[in-house]
């Protein structure tokens, strides 16, 4: 993980002007209920160096282009113009417009095909150093919106592209992009029936294993600053000669691991409150699972729920304002979603449909809750207002054998526009995302491993 940190710091964005990337007006209003997709021409990148047959140089350009394209496509803000519709050869004109630039491109030709935003970029590679130069224009106004140069190593090409996509989304919407965020997720990639915690880019690339328990790990959770991950592992207790579900904390940038809670029984389902000073989790202590809070050093344990009548209370999810807890409980007979005050008072049931509702996740603005609900045969992802009204099903898919697939473990993107989840529709539990309105569903991982309980990191600063 230290190597990853170094790569991020090596990416140096250089603005071409003081105002570049800081428009006086917002071009895309994300506050609207339905955001119209703007027509964008994301043109192929120009290689700005001496012609070369080195395949590694071409690979840098491919990584830059494909990463930026995927980020901007997933954002849901853009509809891309097919290259066959272009009226000029983008490989034969420069990155800046004519007549100011010799051999510059023509705004008139892009206006003619209805282009709203034109992206012109190029790159050069000198030894292992990459320079990514990119300009974004608002074609109707013939105006430069963003002009930057990003520098880094060839290994950091994807990070440079993510950084550009973030800058562009912020320049057009006034809101930060999430393309430098990470996922913490449990996977069986290590084999031998082990499940370890991995951290990867939001798009499933650059996965790194952060645990080596050679056991089963569960339910990773990010701290609000993105610097630590809390998780549960069935760790061996030598004196008792048995394993226990202990809670650990892992520091992303130092690689250090700390034991937070090893109380006999379950210590699982951790969730940080917004200040990062407290962790809420489920502890059984040999009895029925209940929700507790503790300091991030594992001290000052306080009970939040107590039954009733031996009921199970699990999977705490703290609201963004830190005032509410959503959780799953079977106190009504079947597991349903409930909401209570942060101190455990004023408990209200908010789901009543289905046989089993679990894994609540808050939207970043606190207005919505997503959860996994068991219908007649399978789990699907649902979304509703935080008071339980306006419930909608977001997923429904079948396996190759015609049986319904399970869709579980939702987690909101930092901007609230997407929900990530796990689906077994291919036979393996893979990671998918879907827009919060149920559109634009797509697969993130494509391998033979299984994934469990993904958590999206906070927006990177």
Give the three-class secondary structure for 121.
strand
Tell me what pLDDT residue 54 has.
Answer: 82
Tell me what pLDDT residue 272 has.
Answer: 98
In terms of domains, do 138 and 196 share one?
Answer: no
- Residues 6+ away with beta carbon under 8 Å from 362: 317, 318, 319, 320, 326, 368, 369, 386, 412
| Residue closest to 40 by CA, chosen among 123, 129, 110, 143 | 110
Beta strands in 308-456 (DSSP E): 313-318, 324-329, 336-341, 348-349, 356-362, 368-374, 379-385, 392-393, 407-412, 418-423, 430-435, 442-443, 451-456
In terms of domains, do 74 and 146 share one?
Answer: yes
Q: Domain for residue 461, yes or no? A: no
Q: Which H or E run includes 389?
A: none
| Residue closest to 142 by CA, chosen among 89, 171, 99 | 99
pLDDT above 70 (res 31): no
CATH of the domain at 9: 3.40.50.10070
Average pLDDT over residues 31-58: 84
Tell me what pLDDT residue 25 has.
Answer: 65
Within the chain, how many helices (H) and strands (E) appear? Answer: 4, 31
In terms of domains, do 250 and 302 share one?
Answer: yes
Average pLDDT over residues 105-109: 98
In terms of domains, do 191 and 244 share one?
Answer: yes
- The two three-digit tokens of residue 136, written as one number: 């974004």
In terms of domains, do 161 and 189 share one?
Answer: no
Domain boundary among 138, 173, 208: 173
Backbone angles phi and psi of 10, in degrees to 5: -80, -10
Q: Domain for residue 324, yes or no? A: yes
Residues forming a β-bridge with 336: 329
Give the three-class secondary structure for 139.
helix
Tell me what pLDDT residue 46 has.
Answer: 96
Domain boundary among 173, 205, 230: 173
Tell me what pLDDT residue 33 has.
Answer: 47
In terms of domains, do 307 and 246 share one?
Answer: yes
Average pLDDT over residues 317-321: 98
Residues forming a β-bridge with 198: 185, 209
pLDDT above 80 (res 284): yes
pLDDT digits (tens, 9 = 90+) for 181-224: 999 999 999 988 899 999 999 999 999 999 999 999 999 999 99
In terms of domains, do 161 and 203 share one?
Answer: no
pLDDT above 80 (res 283): yes
In terms of domains, do 85 and 216 share one?
Answer: no
pLDDT above 90 (res 297): yes
pLDDT above 80 (res 30): no
pLDDT above 70 (res 4): no
Q: Domain for residue 415, yes or no? A: yes
pLDDT above 70 (res 1): no
pLDDT above 60 (res 18): no
Q: Domain for residue 357, yes or no? A: yes
In terms of domains, do 166 and 190 share one?
Answer: no
Total domains present in the chain: 2
In terms of domains, do 109 and 193 share one?
Answer: no
Average pLDDT over residues 77-101: 96
Percentage of the chain modeled with pLDDT above 90? 85
Domain boundary among 130, 147, 173: 173
pLDDT digits (tens, 9 = 90+) for 227-266: 999 999 999 998 888 999 999 999 999 999 999 999 999 9
pLDDT digits (tens, 9 = 90+) for 401-441: 999 999 999 999 999 999 999 999 999 999 999 999 999 99
Q: Crossing angle, helix 55-74 and helix 157-173, to 10 degrees? A: 30
The domain in which residue 166 lies consists of: 2-173
In terms of domains, do 161 and 286 share one?
Answer: no
Q: Which residues of 415-438 are buried (b: 16+ CB within 10 A; e: fewer)?
A: bbbbbbbbbbbeebbbbbbbbbee
In terms of domains, do 332 and 354 share one?
Answer: yes
pLDDT above 70 (res 13): no
pLDDT above 50 (res 57): yes
Average pLDDT over residues 305-310: 93
pLDDT digits (tens, 9 = 90+) for 132-164: 999 999 999 999 999 999 999 999 999 999 999
Tell me what pLDDT residue 459 has.
Answer: 82
Q: Note the pTM of the prediction, 2 decimals.
A: 0.92
Beta strands in 228-323 (DSSP E): 228-237, 242-251, 257-261, 267-272, 278-283, 290-295, 302-303, 313-318
Give the three-class secondary structure for 34.
coil
CATH of the domain at 323: 2.120.10.30
């Amino acid at each position: 993980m230290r190597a990853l940190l170094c790569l991020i710091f090596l990416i140096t964005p250089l603005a071409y002007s003081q105002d570049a990337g800081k428009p006086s007006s917002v071009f895309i209003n994300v506050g609207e209920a339905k955001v119209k997709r703007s027509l964008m021409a994301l043109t192929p990148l120009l290689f700005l160096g001496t012609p070369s047959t080195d395949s590694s140089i071409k690979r840098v350009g491919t990584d830059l282009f494909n990463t930026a394209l995927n980020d901007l496509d997933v954002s849901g803000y853009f509809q891309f113009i097919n290259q066959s519709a272009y009226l000029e050869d983008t490989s034969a004109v420069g990155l800046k417009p004519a007549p100011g630039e010799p051999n510059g491109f023509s705004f008139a030709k892009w206006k003619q095909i209805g282009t709203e935003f034109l992206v012109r970029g190029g790159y050069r590679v000198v030894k292992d150093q990459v320079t990514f130069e990119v300009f974004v224009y608002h074609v109707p106004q013939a105006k430069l919106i963003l002009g930057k140069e990003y520098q880094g190593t060839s290994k950091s090409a994807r990070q440079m592209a993510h950084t550009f996509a973030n800058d562009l989304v912020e320049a057009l919407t006034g809101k930060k992009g999430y393309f430098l965020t990470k996922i913490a997720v449990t996977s069986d990639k290590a084999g031998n029936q082990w499940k370890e915690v991995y951290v990867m880019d939001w798009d499933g690339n650059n996965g790194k294993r952060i645990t080596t328990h050679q056991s089963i790990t569960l339910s990773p959770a990010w701290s609000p600053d993105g610097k630590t991950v809390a998780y549960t592992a069935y760790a061996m207790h030598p004196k008792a000669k048995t394993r226990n579900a202990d809670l650990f904390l892992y520091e992303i940038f130092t690689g250090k691991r700390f034991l937070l809670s090893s109380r006999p029984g379950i210590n699982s389902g951790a969730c940080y409150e917004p200040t990062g000073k407290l962790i809420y989790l489920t502890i059984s202590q040999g009895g029925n699972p209940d929700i507790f809070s503790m300091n991030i050093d594992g001290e000052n344990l306080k009970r939040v729920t107590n039954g009733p009548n031996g009921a199970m209370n699990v999977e705490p999810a703290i609201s963004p304002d830190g005032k509410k807890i959503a959780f799953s409980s079977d106190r009504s007979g079947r597991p349903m979603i409930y909401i209570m005050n942060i101190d455990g008072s004023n408990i209200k049931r908010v789901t009543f449909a289905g046989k089993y509702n679990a894994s609540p996740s808050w939207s970043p603005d606190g207005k919505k809750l997503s959860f996994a609900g068991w219908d007649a045969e399978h789990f699907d992802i649902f979304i509703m207002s935080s008071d339980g009204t306006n419930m909608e099903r977001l997923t429904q898919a079948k396996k190759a054998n015609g049986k319904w697939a399970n869709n579980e473990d939702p987690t909101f993107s930092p901007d609230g526009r997407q929900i990530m989840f796990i689906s077994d529709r291919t036979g393996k539990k893979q990671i998918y995302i879907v827009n919060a309105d149920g559109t634009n569903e797509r697969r993130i991982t494509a391998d033979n491993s299984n994934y469990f309980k993904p958590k999206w990191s906070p927006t990177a600063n």
